[in-house]
Amino acid sequence: MNYDIAVVKGDGIGPEVVTEAIKVLDKIGEKYGHTFHYNYVLAGGAAIDATGKCLPTDTVDICKGSHAVLLGAVGGPKWDDLPGDERPERALLGLRKALGLFANLRPAMVFDELADASPLKAEIIDGGLDIVVVRELTGGIYFGEKGTKKTDMGPAAYDIEQYSEGEVKRIAAVAFDMAMKRNKKVTSVDKANVLESSRLWRRVVAEVGKNYPEVELENLYVDNAAMQLVRNPKQFDVLVTSNIFGDILSDEASQITGSIGMLPSASLATGNFGMYEPVHGSAPDIAGQNLANPIATILSVAMMLRYTFELSQEADDIEEAVKKFLAAGYRTPDICAGKESIGTKETGDKIASLI
Ligand code: NAI
Ligand code: MG
């Protein structure tokens, strides 16, 4: 099979980590007989330097014409003085919108070999941890009606949380589809004891769940979910929630992991189209020095294989190679805890060689 991937290397460490992820992807292609075509496009600071715009129209068109997008990270001090809507980071919002990316997937994984980097006690994450937060990305309070008004207590401001059945249906379907490719459990997080929008959310998620009889559905209030994530995270597999709750819970979950250099993410549209990127930014402080950990980006391409291309064995293969890499004692500087470390390129080479 041929797969078309639009690639935004981006700024700072972006090009360094993307290069290593592509090395790994090519190794998968070789082993399994797939051809990955890379359409290199500009967005962010590099695009501003070359074209004056952070998200050129060409970039959007080529992304739309590809099966998936791989993105490093954008931004950096060079462009910090630009006005908000001209900054490199604006390209991310523009891409999300143009590509209809309504589902944000943030796995929180603790590899057994790195368990001591987690702030949680060893017995809580014994044997590793692998959960995913599925966050609705284009609705809810961040995009609802907002404004100001006068009240008895002085000037007031408001933001409205609103969800339609259609919006909840499509995000729920993403979560259940994902559960089918994983461990067949979905936890829907809401505040249905207080919020009308959450009652609709809970009802629609349950309706969608009827199409997935093999998947166990559990509902949890968001305050309880926040506690359970640090008390007993292993009870979860897929968590699905609204934009604002997902923003907070995915950051909480990411901290269980230890290093930002290990965290992948995906944003999906309908029809399995997705944009895959590490959670971290362009890390200008270590850019160009072969110090960046490319594992977040390497695990992002594993997600691309699993969720857009439906190549789960190939995805497993990458995750296994990362585990073997860690088990053999290799570490990048961010996870070496003062011990000996290896560089970005050597990490990519080693992980590719373990496939
Ligand atoms: P950052 O994630 O780039 O860096 C935070 C800290 O983590 C730094 O000390 C950095 O060296 C370290 N770090 C990040 N990724 C690493 C990796 N792969 N390996 C080893 N260490 C790593 O966040 P920061 O400093 O707040 O932002 C830097 C620039 O990146 C800003 O311009 C920001 O707007 C942009 N940014 C872009 C994002 C994106 O493109 N999705 C996301 C977050 C920030
Ligand atoms: Mg956030």
Quick one: which atom of ligand 1 is closest to the CA of 294? 18
119 is in an annotated binding site: no
Q: Is 286 annotated as a binding residue?
A: yes
Q: Residue 230: what pLDDT? A: 93
pLDDT digits (tens, 9 = 90+) for 60-116: 999 999 999 999 999 999 999 999 889 999 999 899 989 999 999 999 988 888 887
Give me the pLDDT at residue 100, please: 94
Q: What is residue 339's predicted lDDT score, i.e. its pLDDT?
A: 86
Rounded to two decimals, the ipTM of the complex is 0.98
pLDDT at site 76? 97
Q: Ligand 1: which atom is nearest the Cα of residue 283?
A: 3
Those residues whose C-beta lies under 8 Å from the C-beta of residue 58, and which sit 6 or more positions away, are 41
Lowest mean pLDDT among 14-23, 255-264, 279-288: 255-264
Q: 216-267, pLDDT tens digit by residue? A: 999 999 999 999 999 999 999 999 999 999 999 998 988 888 788 999 999 9
E strands within the chain?
A: 2-10, 35-41, 68-73, 103-110, 129-136, 146-151, 154-159, 185-190, 216-221, 238-241, 264-268, 274-278
159 is catalytic: no
The residue among 91, 27, 7, 16 whose CA lies nearest residue 286 is: 16
Rounded Cα distance between 263 and 255, Å, is: 10
Give which of 111, 83, 109 is closest to 279, Cα–Cα. 109
pLDDT tens, 294-321? 999 999 999 999 999 999 999 999 999 9
Residue 293's pLDDT is 97
Average pLDDT over residues 13-42: 98
SS3 state of residue 101: coil
Report the C-alpha gap between 39 and 46 in whole angstroms.
16
* pLDDT at residue 308, as a whole number: 95
Q: What was the pLDDT predicted at 344?
A: 98
Distance of CA 120 to the CA centre of its chain: 22
pLDDT digits (tens, 9 = 90+) for 104-150: 999 998 888 888 778 888 888 887 889 999 999 999 998 899 999 99
Ligand nearest to the CA of 137: 2
Shortest CA distance to 243 belongs to which of 163, 159, 157?
163
Give residue 84's pLDDT. 82
- Mean pLDDT estimate for the chain: 95
Distance CA 220, CA 53 (A): 43
Q: What is the pLDDT of residue 114?
A: 84
With a 6 Å cutoff on the Cβ, whether 73 touches ligand 1 is yes
Mean pLDDT of 269-278: 94
CA angle, 101 then 98 then 57, to 5°: 145
Q: Is 258 in the pocket of ligand 1 (CB under 6 A)?
A: no
Q: Which domains, and CATH codes, for the chain?
A: 1-102+278-355 (3.40.718.10), 119-257 (3.40.718.10)
Query: Among 142, 185, 323, 349, which one carries the catalytic annotation?
Result: 142
Q: State which ligand 1 atom lies nearest to the alpha carbon of 71.
A: 40
- How many residues make up the chain in this entry? 355
pTM, entire model: 0.91
Q: pLDDT tens digits for 181-222?
A: 889 999 999 999 999 999 999 999 999 999 999 999 999 999
Residue 281 pLDDT more than 90? yes
Dihedral sign computed on CA atoms, order 59, 60, 63, 64: negative
| Residue 174 · residue 188 · CB < 8 Å | no
Tokens of 167: 């919006």
Both structure tokens of 352: 């590719």
